[in-house]
Each structure stands twice: as structure tokens, then as C-alpha cells.
Structure 1
């Protein structure tokens, strides 16, 4: 019975409900990387047909240059091992972050009877601080090994400087996961958690996996990076709104504690609204690009399919606006996290239909 209770405590500490959100950026970046490589193959096929028909030399210089650019950028094959390793690595980072959060808040006394939500592992006493620390070390080592494998499979040793850059990002992610609540100068206690969540869940995740798969920096990907980053911050913001009273007592100065609940709600609405605008911008830029360059036969409104994920998010905003008690915001955490994951799944589905 004791072993079963401890296993349940470890599973609880891993916070499985946070995992779909953590991999959303990887799914989005991988989907559009696949789409980019598909376009490259389509352009290559078009070029081969034109050459067979002996009309390639009759094309305008601009059109030939466009075809050449696409071929130069997107001629590699989609290696499914890269996103698989990226998913494993990201899950490792998230579990490490959850363990560290449990440990940091537990030893600081932030997790107490005033806290709203499920009881944490350290708070329950089933897992000791020493055991949690050991779990953090093991998770960090396994995650770093997975990150190194990811970098090697994607970049090999030919791109040494870029490989070192991604390795530095991996080490930084481990540092960020631990230092969120652990240590005397934990950045989560100084209102900086939102910044780090945006960076690592947004641009690092989306643009990082896109590059690892395609070896191309595509600045259009900044739009979905912003979307995933802001929606991830919205989840953290909700969590901090829910815990505003207990955080105040524990001296955890989140942005919500600093600005108050009313302004935090306005900020929350801004996060989701800007995420929506960023998504719209990406799809229209992408759609216009497809139409102008004729990289696909007929641009489809299927591109806009992921926008459906914002329907529950806008319903959620009405709920947040009307909610007076912070405790009642707890169910909304799952709604935003799952809506973000739904957005990522719809990105994958839309690309699968189009390709």
C-alpha cells in the first residue's frame, strides 16, 4: 500500500495534465516543417515536369528563381525521429519543472493549507525533499541525454556551432525548469515566470523544432510561436490568479500579486486576444504566400482550421471576466491548456489534409 501511495504521489508530482500543453509547440513546429518540406518536393516535381517538357528555359527569371529558392531551402526528407526525440525531451523538461516546482514551493512553505488546488507531493509528506531532489537530478540527466540525441540526429557534427547553440538552449531550459521556484533568487518569486514560459514554450519550442527538421530559419514561424507562447503564459497567469492569496502570504511576488486580480484579468484577455491576432496574421501571410508563389495548386481554407480552437478560448474569457472568486478559476486551467493542445492537433490535421 505504501509503495502504491508513493507511486501515485510521483505521478501527481509529474502533473500529467500539464504535459499536453508542453508539447503543443513541438507539434505546431513539426507540422509546418512537414508542410515546408512537402512544398519543396512539390516544387521539385514541378521542375522535373517542366524540364521534361523542355519549357523550363522559357520561364521568366523570377519564376525560375522562386523555384530554385524553394528547392534550396526544403529538399531534405522529413525525419520522424527528430520530432519524436523532441517530444521526449520536452516532456522531460516539463516533468523536471513540475518536480522542481513541487520541491521549491514545498520547502519554502508556499504549498500550505491556504493553497487552492490538489495537494502537492511534498506538502502531503509522502515524498521527502531528499527524494524529490533525487528525482529532479535523475530527470535532468535523462532529459539532457535525450536533448543531446535530438541535436545529434538533427545536426550531426557537421554543424558544430549550431549544435553547441542548441545544446546551450537545452542546458538553459534545465536551469529555467529548476530555478523557477528553487533557490533564494527563484525567478518565479520575482514575477519573471511569465517571461521564461513565453520564451521556452513559444519561440524556442516552435521555431527550434522547425529549424531542427528543415535546417531553415523561417521568420513566418514567429507568429505561431507567439500564439503558443502567449497561450502557455495564459495558463500560468490563471494559475497565479487562482493562487493570489496564498502567494501573497508566502511572499511569492508573481505578476498577478503585483498588479492585482482585476488588472491580471485584463492582461489575461490580452494574452488570448493577441494569440488570436497572431494566428490570423500567420494564416493570412501563409495563405497569401501560397497564392502568390503558386507553390500549391489551389490554396485551401483548410489552412484556417486551427482557428476553431479559439472558440472555447473566447467562451473561457467570458467565464474569467464574470468570475469573482479566484478559487473558481481552477477548472479554467484545464480548458486553456487543452484548447492550446487542440490548436496544435488541428495544425497537424490541417497539414495532413493538405499534404
Structure 2
């Protein structure tokens, strides 16, 4: 059981929930919140994140990318604590489970709508499952080609926030693109931190992440850009929808991001970034919670 708890990487789950929380709060602000949608979206998101974690553990081992140089959490397949065959079975089982919750979510969220929105969400759901698995699994994983950042931005930001909002409200709102972009950029920042930490190991294993392509120095400026533009998007949304000073509550998360940036530009050894990854994930969750609380209090 302990091995499976480590494989699940529970510390990543709050970050995964951030986009569902933000999309749901935006729907609540529009007076269209539904508990059934929120709960099913949360469960589906958690399952997708767990699948991604297990697939990453499995895929890096099968593709020979896990080496002794890794600084991050111990991999269960590489260490022999879980066999590759057992891990694959778990991924398949969870894939079936998330398909079931995803279908249920789509049925509830699109009830009464025409066929097109239903088909779009079915397609997005299948794409999300594929993205969770194909990051490191298969013959040509996109995570080894520097595309991880793009997929995180799309699914943790645009799809996660805007999709959740639509399933609550059954309507679109272009302004939701702003906080969705902010969440996508911050989530991408978490991945960038992970890749900065693993730079040497990934480079030696020929795992081409964006950090390996850019190099640590340029990746630090890229990191600053992600966080800066995310905050800008949140500020623009607030100005466009300003009604109360409470809406600036998310500014409380700013110091945490500034501390993170300070570390990114000053670290001497990659191991120093290990605790920063969790801190940035929690800062992103705090941003989502404070942004949402500000909207509701305002």
C-alpha cells in the first residue's frame, strides 16, 4: 500500500484540482454553480492526474529515462517496488474509471444541449486521457519532444477552467479565457520547475524538455514570463469585472510567486529546487482559492 501511495504522488492532486475550483467559482459568480458538476469534475480531474503520475512512472522506466541522477521522488517501477506489468494494469483500470466519470459528467453538464457540444466534450475527454498517458508512454511521447508545457497549458488551463465553467453554465464567456490562461500559465510554471530540477538527468537521458532545449538560464526567464503574464491576466479580468476591493484578494498569493522567482534566479544546485516545486503548486492553489473567494465576497 505504501508503494502505491508514493506512486500516486498525492502532493500533485491539489494543483490538479485548482482548475476545477477556479472554473466552478467563476460559474458560482455567474449564479450557475451545480454541485453535481463540481464533484464529478473534481473526481475526473483527480483520476486524470493519478493516471498521468502512474503513466509517467511507467513510461520513463520502459523508455529508459529514469536514471540514478534523478532528484525527484522515487519511482516505484524503477525501484522494483511495483512491477511494470502491475503498473500498466493500474493505468488501464483507472482509464476505465475516468471514462465512466467523464461520461457521467458530460451527460449531466450537457443535458438539454444539441449534439455538437456533447461531441466536443467527448473529444476533449478522450484527448485528456490520451494526453495523461502519452506524456511519457509509447514510441514517441510528447513529453520527450518539449511539448509538455503546451499540453499542460491547454488541459490544466483552457480546458480545465473553461470546460468546467461551460459544464456548469452551459454557456460560454470570453472573459473566462483570462483566468483560464492565468491558471494554465501557472500550471506550466510548475512543470517548468520540475524540468529545471531534472535538467541534468533529462539532458543525459536524452529527454528533450523545453528546459533542455532552452538551457537553465533562458528557462529561468521563461519561468518569470509565465508567472508575470499569469498575474497580468488575473489583473485584467479583475479590472474588467471590478465591483469590490475583495476581488483583489488574489494579490495575497503574489509574495509566494516572487519568492519562487527569487529562488529560480539564485539557486546553485538543482537539489535546491526540490522543495520549491511543492511550494509553487501550493501557491497556485492559493491563487485559485483567493481569486475565487474574492469573486464570491465581492
Query: TM-score band (shorter)?
Result: over 0.9
Q: What CA distance in whole angstroms lies between the structure 2 residues aligned with 1:149 and 1:231?
A: 29
1:24 matches 2:13: no
1:15 aligns with 2:48: no
Alignment of 1:87-126 (within 5 A): 87-126=42-81
Question: What do you get for the CA RMSD once the two structures are aligned?
Answer: 1.1
- Residue 300 of structure 1 and its aligned partner are, at CA, apart by 1.0
Larger Rg: 1
- Structure-1 separation of matches of 2:160 and 2:174: 14
Check whether the contact 2:146–2:208 (CA below 8 A) recurs between aligned residues.
Answer: yes
Structure 2 matches for 1:207-286, cutoff 5 A? Answer: 207-286=162-241
For 1:58, the equivalent position in structure 2 comes to: none
Q: Does 1:338 align with 2:282?
A: yes
Contact 2:48-2:132 within 8 A present in 1 as well: yes
Instruction: Give the one of 192, 206, 219 matched to 2:161.
Output: 206
Alpha-carbon distance in structure 2 between the residues aligned to 1:228 and 1:234: 10
Cross-structure match for 2:249: 305
Q: Which residue of 2 aligns with 1:47?
A: none
**More displaced stretch, 328-337 vs 104-113:** 104-113
Instruction: Look up the SS of the partner of 2:241 in the other structure.
Output: helix
The aligned counterpart of 1:50 is: none
The partner residue of 1:140 within 73, 87, 95 is 95
Q: 1:304 Cα deviation (Å)?
A: 1.2
**What's the counterpart of residue 86 of structure 1?**
41
TM norm structure 1: 0.82
Give CA-to-partner distance per residue, 1:139-169, whole Å, 9 cap, x none.
1110010000001111126432211110110
1:100-148 per-position Cα deviation (integer Å, ceiling 9, x unaligned): 0000011122222111122111111010010000000001110010000
Partner in structure 1 of residue 120 of structure 2:
165
Q: CA deviation at 1:274?
A: 0.7
Q: Secondary structure at the match of 1:195?
A: helix
User: 1: distance between equivalents of 2:39 and 2:244?
Assistant: 28
1:199 and 1:229 in contact (8 A); partners too = yes
SS in 2 for 1:320: helix
Assess if the C-alpha contact under 8 Å between 2:25 and 2:33 holds in 1: no
Conservation of the 8 A alpha-carbon contact between 1:313 and 1:335: no
- For residues 222 and 280 of structure 1, the distance between their equivalents in structure 2, rounded to whole angstroms, comes to 13
1:279/1:307 contact within 8 Å kept: no
Normalised TM-score (structure 2): 0.97
Q: Distance in 2 between matches of 1:26 and 1:84?
A: 9
1:349 positional shift: 2.1
Moved more, 22-31 or 320-329: 320-329
**Equivalent-residue separation in structure 2 for 1:312 and 1:186 (angstroms):** 33
- Equivalenced residue count is 298
Q: The residue matched to 1:23 in structure 2 has which SS?
A: helix
Flag structure 2 segments of 5+ consecutive residues without an equivalent: none
Unaligned runs of 5+ in 1: 1-6, 38-76, 288-298
SS in 2 for 1:114: coil
Shift of 1:78: 2.9
Call closer, same or farther: CA 1:93–1:152 in 2, change over 3 Å.
same
